[in-house]
Structure 1
């Protein structure tokens, strides 16, 4: 079974790029454009990692991360935060994310970080 990644990103272009990158690396990707859809769908996907944007139209990825880290069924799943406006310190201090990716991101670095968090061996 392929590893599953749930992505929360409101920007259509970035979401499509992330989907393409991860699918080309043989991940099964479930992507969501808003917090409501993510919370209704991602929690049932048995994900190997979550990739969350911080600034969203109906909420904040840091708050979503806090929820994920508080639930017994998702607290062990790695969270990678993405933002152009926040820093690693902000994300780690506010929600205990395993990694932070600054936008715009390097494609190879992005994939390597996801691989590291999922334990995928190349």
Structure 2
């Protein structure tokens, strides 16, 4: 079965880039520019992994990730937090994310991170 990745980022270029990379690597993807109502957004797609940007309008990445991690059904979905913030490790820890990726990221680095968390 194809693994699914949900990408949250308010930057369309990043969404397109991640979609190209991950679909090229054989994953199914879905994207969103906001993390509002994160539980209802992911419930229709049920991803194996979530890529979460830090700066999102309305509900930020930290708040959305924390909300997800409190949810009994979705709390075990690994979240990769990604941001250009220098303090990304602390942000990811605060959010409760399993991993993080600094922007700008390398294509191979993104693929390796996803594969290491959910396989092919």
Instruction: Give TM-score scaled by structure 1 length.
Output: 0.90
Structure 2 partner of 1:66 = 66
- 1:45 match: secondary structure: coil
CA distance in 2, matches of 1:46, 1:80: 16
1:39-65 superposed Cα distances (whole Å, 9 cap, x missing partner): 432222121001000101222111111
Please, what is the CA RMSD of the aligned residues? 1.4
Question: Following TM superposition, by how much is the alpha carbon of 1:37 offset from its aligned partner in structure 2, in angstroms?
Answer: 6.7
Superposition map of 1:21-36 within 5 A: 21-36=21-36
Q: How many residues are matched?
A: 119
Task: Give the ranges of 4+ consecutive aligned residues of structure 1 lying more than 4 Å apart after TM superposition.
Answer: none
Instruction: Give TM-score scaled by structure 2 length.
Output: 0.92
Superposition map of 1:70-89 within 5 A: 70-85=70-85, 86-89=87-90
Unaligned stretches of 5+ residues in structure 1: none
